[in-house]
């Protein structure tokens, strides 16, 4: 990401983020998203966002996620769980 930044636009950086990082991060997230080790993936996600936006390593990422319209890892985990429940509503009904 860092080597691509000087040569491509921010929109292209976002496409690279989704194609390389987000696809790997979201694969099977329902199974590993609640583990304590997922914080390492979240830190990596924040590091990539800072590189995309050209910020320092200690800058807050909250507004950067909003500006880029990218969901942070905990939100992606919650969204995937909610979509699973909606798609499989019959599994969660009581008789």
Q: Is 3 a domain residue?
A: no
Domain of 66, in residue numbers: 10-92
Question: In this structure, is residue 48 part of a structural domain?
Answer: yes
Question: Would residue 29 count as lying in a domain?
Answer: yes
Do the domain assignments include residue 57? yes
**Which among 21, 19, 36 is positioned nearest to 74, based on CA atoms?**
36
Structural domain includes residue 1: no
Considering the entire predicted model, what is its pTM? Answer: 0.87
> What tens digit of pLDDT does each residue of 26-40 get?
999 999 999 999 999
DSSP code at position 1: -
17 is a domain residue = yes
Cα–Cα dist 28/32, whole Å:
7
Q: Over the stretch 65-95, which tens digit does the pLDDT of each residue have?
A: 999 999 999 999 999 999 999 999 988 887 7
| Res 82: pLDDT | 95
Q: How far is CA 68 from CA 36, 37, 49, 71, 88, in A?
A: 26, 25, 9, 9, 31
Q: How many domains in the chain? A: 1
Two structure tokens written together for 39: 């914080």
Has residue 74 been placed in a domain? yes
Residue 22 lies in a domain: yes
């Amino acid at each position: 990401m860092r080597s691509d930044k000087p040569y491509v636009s921010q929109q292209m950086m976002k496409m690279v983020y989704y194609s390389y990082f987000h696809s790997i991060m979201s694969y099977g997230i329902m199974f590993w998203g609640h583990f304590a080790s997922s914080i390492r993936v979240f830190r990596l996600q924040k590091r990539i966002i800072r590189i995309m936006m050209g910020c320092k390593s200690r800058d807050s990422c909250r507004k950067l996620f909003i500006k880029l319209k990218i969901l942070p890892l905990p939100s992606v985990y919650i969204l995937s769980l909610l979509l699973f429940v909606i798609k499989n509503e019959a599994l969660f009904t009581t008789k």
